[in-house]
Amino acid sequence: RLGRGRPTDAMQEDTMLEPRPRMAACNSASEAVQHSTARQRVLVVDDDRRMASSLAQWLCSNGWHAQAVGTPEEAILALGRHRYDHCLLDADLPAGGATRVGSILRSTWPEARLIAMTDMTVKPAGAAQPVTRSLQADCVLAPPVADAAVLAALTAPPAATAGDVRSKPAGAGRFLGESPAMRHVLEIVDRIAATPATVLLTGESGTGKSLLAREIHRRSQRADRRLVEVACGSLSESLLESELFGHVAGAFTGATTAREGMFARADGSTIFLDEIATATPAMQVKLLRVLQDFEFEPVGGGEPHQVDTRVILATHEHLETLVAEGRFRADLFWRINVITIELPALRNRSEDILPLAESFLEPLQAKAGRQLIGFTDAAQECLTAHSWPGNIRELLHAVERAAFLGRGPTIDRCDLPAAVVTGASQPRHTAVGAGGESLRDRLANPERQLILDTLRRHDWRRDAAAKALGINRATLYKKAKRLGVELAGLGRGPAAPA
């Protein structure tokens, strides 16, 4: 992918390579790079092991301590053993592996630079943008890439932006998603985060609406101020009014002193009103006024207060239905329905299940009192096969249970709740064709057959087959691996297994 010459022999995967002695013939620029990178560590993650080994060897010759690994599991183990300053990560790892490694890197070594390597062409509105966003990468390298571009990516000063992960407090939640549905959601967030527009978040319970509200605030120009969150469904009408707008002294029994409300605290920041559908009719009237004029009066009277507040609301109910039934004011609905983002259920974004589960492990290590590095293959199969009616909340609780009850650094099938294991053995409700195949299978089968036919026509020569298909060798390898095409016999003639 990086256009280097003939790769060296594969290195031992668990051995950290030391920088080679500098050659007297090195020019001043190369020596400067070696001096600036002394003692810095680089982790190279690519399922093409020869490519990873070649790149690691080349980095060592330029002054870095480099290690090459070929799977997400090996990368996660390496991140638990050493501190890394940089990670060169294959963005096209199968089964969400790249996002899993990226999330572990961010949580374990938040100051490390993440550089995504992708086979996709970088375009202003092309595929590299979702890769960058889902991995939260500092840089994306796409072909053709010269050695100088790799050096530039490794030595460039870190970008200082409001949305940089380095500015986020340790242990804070992150909003993850690499599925097409979540990429669409994050694309909308990118467009509206910096604006003052009111946002309505909808979706089933447990889909992460509160987490997305925090992500919108984190990416906004108000991120330096604290997000104010209000759970509307947990407070009575009288208490909710006092919580939102505050009260003056003597406004009601027990109000001996004046109290500032949530909207006042959110002045210059963002207020998140969760479960807005539970607001009573009287409260809806007061909310309509504050959302129209951003002006309110504390309970008990007093001078009106003007605030500069960005409003995000959330509900798991269908507000249009509530409006038709007369349970929610139509004028309030149209006022808050400026930008609506519907979060998909977890069963409709299966690509995100494993990255989310991996992201839950690191914060649980201290609570569980043991190192947690990932899931066994059997556990991963259960996680991805379960329908998750409780969405992300159910997934989090399942991982928590496994972390507390399991043993060893990996979580196995037997550590998961019985409902998850049992549910994984039941047939998934997926789109099926007339022959009973899922939509994914029906799309994968023609692609697999095309690759097999092309390999046969070219006597199982990988280079020739890749060229005929219009892809490179690495992409052919990844596709064949994903589709179950046996590659062990490639290059040995037509007797290779089909």
pLDDT tens digit sequence for 172-190: 345 667 788 888 998 899 8
Pick the range with the lowest mean pLDDT from 108-117, 149-158, 379-388.
149-158
Tokens of 249: 């002294």
pLDDT at 335: 93
CA atoms within 13 A on the CB side of 134: 29
CA 67 to chain centre: 25
What six digits make up the tokens of 388? 């998750």
Which amino acid is residue 160, in one-letter code?
Answer: A
CB 86 within 8 Å of CB 112 = yes
Measured distance CA(207)–CA(202) in Å, rounded: 9
Q: Is the pLDDT of residue 30 over 90?
A: no
Look at 160-164, 387-391, 445-449 and tell me which has the smallest mean pLDDT.
Answer: 160-164
pLDDT of residue 301 exceeding 60? yes
216 phi, psi to nearest 5 deg: -60, -45
Residue 107 pLDDT: 64
Please write the tens of the pLDDT for every residue from 36-47. Answer: 444 578 999 998
Confidence label for 129 from pLDDT (cuts 50, 70 and 90): very low
b/e map of 195-231 (b: 16 or more CB within 10 Å)? eeebbbbbbbbbbbbbebbbbbbbbbebbebebbbbe
398 vs 169, higher pLDDT = 398
DSSP structural state of residue 160:
-
**CB-CB contact of 383 with 357 (8 Å):** yes
- Please list, in sequence order, all residues whose beta carbon lies within 8 angstroms of the beta carbon of residue 335, skipping any fewer than 6 positions away: 198, 288, 291, 292
- Within 382-471, strands assigned E span 410-411
Q: What's the whole-number mean pLDDT along residues 101-106?
A: 79
Q: Amino acid identity of 109?
A: W
Average pLDDT, the chain: 76
Question: Rounded to whole angstroms, how far apart are CA atoms 63 and 23?
Answer: 11
3 state SS of 417: coil
Which pLDDT value is given to residue 212? 92
For 251, other C-beta atoms within 10 Å of its C-beta total: 17
Query: How confident is the model over 105-124, as pLDDT tens digits?
Result: 876 677 788 888 887 544 43
Q: Calculate the CA 60 to chain-centre distance.
A: 31
Question: To 10 degrees, what angle do helices 72-81 and 97-108 make?
Answer: 10
Please compute the mean of the pLDDT values over residues 394-419 and round it to a whole number. Answer: 91
Task: Say whether pLDDT at 487 is over 70.
Answer: no
Residue 21 has pLDDT above 60, yes or no: no
Q: Which amino acid, one-letter code, is at 274? A: D
> What does the pLDDT read at residue 35?
42
**Tokens found for residue 279:** 């607001």
Determine the average pLDDT of the residues in 329-344: 94
| Contacts of residue 234, Cβ cutoff 8 Å, sequence gap at least 6 | none
Percent of the chain residues topping a pLDDT of 90: 22
Please give the average per-residue pLDDT across 217-233, as a whole number. Answer: 86
The Cα–Cα gap between 340 and 336 comes to 9
Strand-pair category, 295-296 with 305-306:
antiparallel
